[in-house]
Amino acid sequence: MQLQVMNSPFNEEQVEALNRLLPTLTESQKIWLSGYLAASQSQVAASAVITPDTVVQDQRVAETSPQIVNAEQSKTREITILFGSETGNCQALSEDLRTKLGGLGFKVELSAMDDFKTKGLKKVQDLLIITATHGEGDPPDNALSFYEFLNSRKAPKLEDVRFSVLALGDQSYEFFCQTGKDFDKRLEELGAKRLYPRVDCDVDFDDLAAEWTEGVLNELKASQSEATGGSTIVAQESSPLGTPLQQSAYSRTNPFKAEVLENLNLSGRGSNKENRHLELSLEGSNLEFEPGDSLGIYPENHPNLVDEIIEEMQWNPDELVAINKLGDVPLREALLSHLEITILTKPLMEKASHLTHHSALKELLAPGQEEALKAYMEGRDILDLLRDFAPWETSAREFVSILRKIPARLYSIASSYKANPDEVHLTIGTVRFHAHGRDRMGVCSGQCAERVKPGDRLSVYVHRNPNFRLPSDPEAPIIMIGPGTGVAPFRAFLEEREELEAQGKSWLFFGDQHFRTDFLYQVDWQRWLKEGVLTKLDVAFSRDTAEKIYVQHRMLQKSKELFQWIQEGASLYVCGDEKHMAKDVQDALLTIFQQEGGMSFEAAESYLTDLRKQKRYQRDVY
């Protein structure tokens, strides 16, 4: 939105300056700025009403700058924000909340759950928890230790604590927002009082997160007003505007249309897989990223699937339907670009059951049929739902209202910004499968494999992942474990280390099916080995040997040297499949610690936990 001179109190020069500045600000900077201006007005008002002698008042303000302290602040309860974040969303929300609370004068402590000293929990006054749920209802890695403590016999009674929980999740998973639900229930069991009801968010979390934030802020402001007799506390935090303005106007809610420069098939002829290497231009976006970050892509559904749905229901493709903030758009455009049509979830099935009298759908949703429902949803999409439970008593407009917004797909960035400014590289494994009588494919991976050509554009944004970062010391050794497309971020790691001329040792464990067809980025690894950027490379090609060999087997074979590297300060990184690979790799690490370190199983687990707390065991698994 551009300011205009005619509808603003600013002159032409001021409007021009504001229009240059505002698009560059992040949300936290805008929030801070609005809070700062509000605080400034409060000071002026206080000066005019309370202190007739403005010279003395100005002197007081100068003496307390940059921190303005109200005598009533001692009556304000301290707020503790704890976040459990796997990909960075919860951390970003927590930081924004801290900024808002600080602007209102609250004293705030912000911490990742694994950095929080649990012995101080009984001293907490107001506790705000923002957490994701990972995998099958598990806490994120950086929430594990706090989660286990809270659910142990060591957890203290919390009768004097007020709390609220914001839970992030994905409704396509069975245990939606389970970690947030667990925290909410356990805090209540320990005697804590709910400050504001828990809110559970799906992948499109912005509106619900904002609703929870507003509700929490209103409750806290009401409590503050009671504690201070109606007076307002004014505090001034250090400004985020003090750093150079390198922010982009593009974000998750305002994606950039990136031009596709290259789209190559990395897999050799005869491979059972298709892995694509995409290079996108970020020129003109002002988007930057660090190794370990991901790129979000908002995909389009397959046109054939969209047309089959419309034909099945005999709808008019040009009929206007409502899409939340976009207003009315043609039905075909809505199904193609805005709505999720390839995944079935329990909430969707429940909503759909009200639009048909088909008894079989209602039976699937009956108590005790959870396994049958789960089995039905696996591998099916909206077209299956419409065909299996016809006839439907609904219009197109009514039916699309039950569909959720199509979520972005995140891919680990496979390049270094320092090495390739204004470009971003991705490694995307194409998902194809046959189920329930039809050939199917991944929404985004299928689009990139079949319908995206150089010159086309994709809607993208940078998704920061502060929990997957290279060591700050370029001399520190690193061990990278990334089979398949999980190797993508390690290409970025080594590009970055090469650019910085880092001297730290590096060791890569890579695995896939066949050496001849599936050795992703083989030329890059061999060049870096020759030049010394990569110190060691161990590979496992599971289908090239009679007995399947995976990366965890190579780790066990090199257990003595691997443990020595860790003892010397190496950081461990794991990227790729969560269900099998990540668990197998972790089991291998525990075995190595026991064998080479002479530890008991319990001591090995504690050792791994300590590595995680030191940020020396980081995972990006999915």
113-148 pLDDT tens trace: 999 999 999 899 999 999 999 877 899 988 999 999
Q: Is 445 annotated as a binding residue?
A: yes
Q: CB under 8 Å, gap of 24 or more: what pairs does 209-212 form?
A: 209/93, 209/166, 209/168, 212/164, 212/166
Q: What are phi and psi of 245, to 5 degrees?
A: -80, 95
E-assigned strand segments in 342-482: 409-412, 423-429, 432-435, 438-441, 457-463, 478-481
Question: Which is it for the CA torsion 417, 421, 422, 423, positive or negative?
Answer: negative
Give the percent of the chain with pLDDT over 70: 84
Of 275 and 232, the structure prediction assigns the larger pLDDT to 275
Query: Is 176 part of any known ligand binding site?
Result: yes
* Mean pLDDT, rounded, for 476-480: 98
429 is in an annotated binding site: yes
pLDDT mean over 66-76? 46
**Residue 571, C-beta contacts closer than 8 angstroms, at least 6 positions apart:** 470, 471, 476, 477, 478, 479, 615, 616, 617, 618
For residue 308, the surrounding DSSP H or E stretch is: helix 303-313
Inter-axis angle of helices 522-531 and 488-500, to 10 degrees? 30
Q: Is 410 annotated as a binding residue?
A: yes
Q: Which of 324-328, 337-341, 390-394 has the lowest mean pLDDT?
A: 324-328
Look up residue 606 and give its two tokens.
């504690």
CA distance linking residue 120 with residue 139, whole number of Å: 21
3-state helix/strand/coil string of 325-368: HHEEEEHHHHHHHHECCCCCCHHHHHHHHHHECCHHHHHHCCCC
411 assigned ligand-binding residue: yes
Residue 587 in marked binding region = no
So what's the pLDDT on residue 63? 39
548 among the known binding-site residues?
A: yes
What average pLDDT does this structure show over 443-466? 97
Known binding residue 196? Answer is no
pLDDT tier, 492 (very low <50, low <70, confident <90, very high otherwise):
very high
| Both structure tokens of 344 | 């079935």
174 among annotated binding-site residues: yes
Domains 303-400 and 478-621 share a fold: no
Domain ranges of the chain: 1-65, 70-241, 256-299+408-463, 303-400, 478-621
Q: Please return the burial class of 268, using the count of CB atoms within 10 Å of its CB with bins 0-12, 13-18 and 19+.
A: middle
412 is in an annotated binding site: yes
Is residue 367 a contact partner of residue 432, using CB atoms and an 8 Å limit? no
pLDDT at 457 over 70: yes
Q: What is the model's pLDDT at position 463? A: 95
Torsion of CA 591, 593, 596, 597, to 10 degrees: -140
Is 169 annotated in some ligand binding site? yes
Query: Is 223 among the annotated ligand-binding positions?
Result: no
Query: Residue 48: pLDDT above 50?
Result: no
The owner of tokens 């909503």 is: 351
- Least confidently predicted of 13-17, 65-69, 508-512: 65-69
Q: Rounded to whole angstroms, how far apart are CA atoms 445 and 106?
A: 46
Please name the CATH architecture into which domain 256-299+408-463 falls.
Beta Barrel (2.40)
Q: What percent of the chain has pLDDT over 90?
A: 77
**Could you tell me whether strands 506-512 and 536-541 are parallel, antiparallel, or unpaired per DSSP bridges?**
parallel
Burial 595-604 (b: 16+ CB within 10 A, else e): ebeebeeeeb
Please state the pTM of the whole predicted model: 0.81
Residue 91 pLDDT > 90: yes
- Tell whether the model's pLDDT for residue 26 goes beyond 90: no
Q: Does 621 appear as a known binding residue? A: no
List, for residues 264-297, the tens digit of each pLDDT value: 999 999 999 999 999 999 999 999 999 999 999 9
* Range in 17-26, 130-139, 191-200, 431-440 the model is least confident about: 17-26
Q: Residue 576: which region, alpha, beta or left (left: phi > 0; alpha: psi -120 to 50)?
A: left
Structure tokens at 205: 């979390």
For residue 575, say whether it is annotated as part of any ligand binding site.
no
Q: What is the pLDDT of residue 605?
A: 96
Q: Is 542 annotated as a binding residue?
A: yes
CATH superfamily for domain 70-241: Flavodoxin domain (3.40.50.360)
d(CA 215, CA 78) in angstroms, rounded, equals 18
CATH for 478-621, options being 3.40.1360.10, 3.40.50.80, 2.60.40.10, 3.10.450.50:
3.40.50.80
Whole-number pLDDT of residue 29: 60
Residue type, 219: E
Is 342 annotated as belonging to a binding site? yes
β-strand 327-330 against 275-281: which pairing, if any? unpaired
Spelled out in words, what is the top-level CATH class assigned to the domain 303-400?
mainly alpha
Reported as a single tens digit per residue, the pLDDT across 534-547 is: 999 999 999 999 99
Residue 296 · residue 408 · CB < 8 Å: yes
- Is 173 part of any known ligand binding site? yes
Tokens for 505, please give them.
Answer: 């040792």
Distance CA 509, CA 541 (A): 11
584 is in an annotated binding site: yes
61 is in an annotated binding site: no
What is the number of other CB atoms lying within 10 angstroms of the CB of residue 569?
15
CA 430, CA 275: separation in Å to the nearest integer?
Answer: 6
pLDDT of the residue at 245: 40
Residue 168 marked in a binding site: yes
What's the mean pLDDT when you consider all of the chain? 88
Would the annotation count 380 as a binding residue?
A: no
For the chain, what is the radius of gyration of the CA atoms?
27
Q: Between the CA of residue 341 and those of 334, 396, 577, what are the distances in Å?
A: 10, 14, 24
DSSP strand pairing (571-576 vs 478-481): parallel
What pLDDT does 172 receive?
86
Q: Is 399 annotated as a binding residue?
A: no
> How many alpha carbons lie under 13 Å from residue 452 in its C-beta half-sphere?
29
Given a contact cutoff of 8 angstroms between Cβ atoms, the answer to whether 555 and 588 are in contact is yes
Annotation-wise, does 397 bind a ligand?
Answer: no
Q: What is the largest CA-CA distance in the chain?
A: 90
Residue tagged 């190559």 (tokens): 264
Does the annotation list 543 as a binding residue?
A: yes
58 is in an annotated binding site: no
pLDDT digits (tens, 9 = 90+) for 389-417: 999 989 999 999 999 999 999 999 999 99
H-type alpha helices, 123-177: 144-150
The answer on whether 428 is annotated among ligand-binding residues is yes
* Confidence check: pLDDT of 612 > 70: yes
Residue type, 416: S
83 is in an annotated binding site: no
Q: What is the mean pLDDT of residues 33-51?
A: 46
